[in-house]
Structure 1
């Protein structure tokens, strides 16, 4: 049995006393009663202690923390409510106290990536759409916290979950798949279309997703193809150690995914931490807070089930099964040519180093039976992978285009006879 996960847990426990000492030291040099607190020496000691504590901390699952939004110039209270639940995912609805006279707004299902980070990575995405859309989001669970008795979870199960959620939300929903879920979401819709399912959504927007990783392959894509699925099985799969609830479950650990992402841009992360140190020494609290907020989210990671991770690597990155027309779901073919009723928008980032330019846009070629007036593509200049779904350019340029696309689709459906939703 590979003991790397156990060594990771042991190392984290071993550094605990040092973290406590560091925290106590920081408290001393942050105390207003200490004459050294406001000196360059005192601020340097306090800053160094904070960086050490933050670098060795285990980050728990963050909160969305979205308590209000503005609708039509009026403040609306926002409350999270779970409307669908399975062992590996909750579907969260952001209930809003809508001001009187507000017209109904389009329903939006945000399918968050299940790739090592929590759904709260899309907090900014949710916040942007809350004033204009009725937002739901998939809240994927940390496999480390799920007992073995709950069974397996693989890519087929993921597709089943998406179909089940679409049945709950009804046929008037618009789906946004961010990064990893682009493949299972379009596969789920293809299977629904093949069965003439009345609950297919009105539109799907795929954002920075690996539909065809043979196009503009990135370092991540090349690594997967060169090493093959068995290499990842041997080197990336571990058993959850005791005393976690998922004890003995085979997983791809979140800390391993995080270390890979950090290594890809190590110089940038080191520079960011040095900048934070300088901001703390200089007393620039606002800049330091922005750093804290980003890394509180970025360093909070979750484990993925081994079967889901390996099936995704094999299907998407090694065999390229979807664009080749070879992908199966429960032994049934995933034929994207079956998609006819669902509008399609794709969004890519010019500087995306995770999903290269063209990988998501490939969906248009693979779905030839979607009418031309039900398609759109947007390449966002000057942003990387994260900027596709978050940040200032997302808010100013990407989100308005998605909202316009959804509004256009809604207008088209307003001119048609509404689809009848089946019971159940």
Structure 2
């Protein structure tokens, strides 16, 4: 009922949002003399701020229509190449000249943690010049009818395995944040049964492999509560008239509320600065705010079974590092990985996945030779900076590209990947 009440309140505000938008248009119209005054711009700014803080943000677009390959602009087209009820696999198809040597095939597994896969737009954009990029486009659970069945952590792992099979041999997989655990589990299971389509390399970025290391506020909350608390307080039924009406979900707005409350002062200051940018007619500053929050405030629901199983397995029981994780009754043993090369990336100031949580994968994958494992810690970035931003493009992307191009189908290094340096990198 709470979710339905939330929807009703949102609908009740629609007339006020429409009025605010009309006021904004009136007082920002250059034909209105008041739009050229500080008072008029203040009224328009207040109206826009109200409309933006009360609207529902839809799924953004990737909007990546061009990249640069071999110093030449190349058109890019999105194409769905694999589809299931809870996920589509998107290929960013580049119009490359015929006969050109193919680039590495890269499966980018986006987090299913409340935001859409478009949160990794910058990640995709940075990798497009170097690889054939595919990304998991997870579907909002409230839009999936009950007739499509359940989706839990075991299904997530199955999806990853199926996508790797669909892409074929010599694929490289990159997991950003939450999918680090299911991706490591999927590769472990594939290697354990001698699957020839196990990925050539596996890159884990800012993921909660072992949340006992440097626990963050998110980790501590999970440790303080039992699973029944999350079931009673975080799970709701998708409201009418959503296509998934009646499905038990973890609402995206709850996840967003948790993220924003962790840095509430920064978000308040950002919105105050946005207001002042509008009053001062600083279009560039205001547009940067819009771009960031159009993405950040667009959230999706997760299925209840996936959310609860993930909380229990990853954050409460620490099943993977303790050797207790199973997939449909089969033990998940990272020690089975022998052929897939491993690269882990962390951010120095990550407040979601603390330092050491991702690096813990090296201690679990004991049978990967040391010269085919590497770890890098990026100084002066938080969680978001691990997969986006200027430091990501300048420091992390070259290391990922170097790593995935160093290992071919036979799992042997063609050239040695970058090792430890003075800039914060460290080899495992």
TM (norm. structure 2) is: 0.95
Give the drift of 1:373. Answer: 1.1
- Which residue of the partner structure matches residue 342 of structure 2? 344
- Which residue of the partner structure matches residue 272 of structure 1? 270
From 387, 390, 397, give the equivalent of 1:389. Answer: 387
C-alpha contact 2:45 2:279 (8 A) present in aligned 1: yes
Give the drift of 1:413. Answer: 4.6
Give the drift of 1:407. Answer: 1.7
- Counting only pairs closer than 5 Å after superposition, residues 307-318 of structure 1 correspond to structure 2 as 307-318=305-316
- Counting only pairs closer than 5 Å after superposition, residues 134-283 of structure 1 correspond to structure 2 as 134-283=132-281
Give the drift of 1:406. Answer: 1.0
- Which residue of the partner structure matches residue 369 of structure 1? 367
Give the drift of 1:110. Answer: 0.3
- Which residue of the partner structure matches residue 404 of structure 1? 402
Root mean square deviation of aligned Cα:
1.2
Which whole-Å deviations, capped at 9, do the CAs of 1:201-240 have from their partners, x for residues lacking one? 0000000000000000001001001102110000000001
Q: Secondary structure at the match of 1:322?
A: coil
The whole-number CA distance in structure 1 between the counterparts of 2:19 and 2:280 is: 24
Which whole-Å deviations, capped at 9, do the CAs of 1:227-259 have from their partners, x for residues lacking one? 021100000000011110000000000000000
C-alpha contact 1:207 1:346 (8 A) present in aligned 2: yes
Q: Secondary structure at the match of 2:81?
A: strand
The whole-number CA distance in structure 2 between the counterparts of 1:130 and 1:33 is: 44
C-alpha contact 1:74 1:99 (8 A) present in aligned 2: no
Which segments of 5 or more consecutive residues in structure 1 lack a partner in the other structure?
Answer: 417-424
Q: Secondary structure at the match of 1:321?
A: coil
The whole-number CA distance in structure 2 between the counterparts of 1:9 and 1:414 is: 54
* Regions of 4+ moved over 4 Å: 411-416
Which segments of 5 or more consecutive residues in structure 2 lack a partner in the other structure?
Answer: 415-428
Give the drift of 1:102. Answer: 3.3
Q: Secondary structure at the match of 2:342?
A: strand
TM (norm. structure 1) is: 0.96
Give the drift of 1:103. Answer: 2.2
C-alpha contact 2:208 2:358 (8 A) present in aligned 1: yes
The whole-number CA distance in structure 2 between the counterparts of 1:303 and 1:415 is: 41
C-alpha contact 1:113 1:119 (8 A) present in aligned 2: yes
Give the drift of 1:414. Answer: 7.2
Give the drift of 1:33. Answer: 1.4
Give the drift of 1:99. Answer: 3.3
- Which residue of the partner structure matches residue 40 of structure 2? 42
The whole-number CA distance in structure 2 between the counterparts of 1:100 and 1:73 is: 16
Give the drift of 1:394. Answer: 0.2
From 44, 50, 53, give the equivalent of 1:52. Answer: 50
C-alpha contact 1:71 1:99 (8 A) present in aligned 2: no
Q: Secondary structure at the match of 2:34?
A: coil
- Which residue of the partner structure matches residue 422 of structure 1? none
Q: Do residues 109 (structure 1) and 107 (structure 2) align?
A: yes
Give the drift of 1:32. Answer: 1.3
Compared with structure 1, are the counterparts of its residues 119 and 415 closer, same or farther at alpha carbon in structure 2 (3 Å cutoff)? Answer: closer
- Which residue of the partner structure matches residue 299 of structure 1? 297
- Counting only pairs closer than 5 Å after superposition, residues 91-106 of structure 1 correspond to structure 2 as 91-100=89-98, 102-106=100-104
The whole-number CA distance in structure 1 between the counterparts of 2:326 and 2:107 is: 24
C-alpha contact 2:187 2:198 (8 A) present in aligned 1: yes
- Which residue of the partner structure matches residue 28 of structure 2? 30
- Which residue of the partner structure matches residue 15 of structure 1? 13
Which whole-Å deviations, capped at 9, do the CAs of 1:73-132 have from their partners, x for residues lacking one? 111110000010000000000000013553211111000000000000000000001011
- Which residue of the partner structure matches residue 327 of structure 1? 325
The whole-number CA distance in structure 1 between the counterparts of 2:169 and 2:183 is: 15
C-alpha contact 2:339 2:411 (8 A) present in aligned 1: no
Give the drift of 1:410. Answer: 3.3
Give the drift of 1:415. Answer: 7.5
Compared with structure 1, are the counterparts of its residues 320 and 302 closer, same or farther at alpha carbon in structure 2 (3 Å cutoff)? Answer: same
Q: Secondary structure at the match of 2:313?
A: helix
The whole-number CA distance in structure 1 between the counterparts of 2:100 and 2:27 is: 52
Compared with structure 1, are the counterparts of its residues 40 and 409 closer, same or farther at alpha carbon in structure 2 (3 Å cutoff)? Answer: same
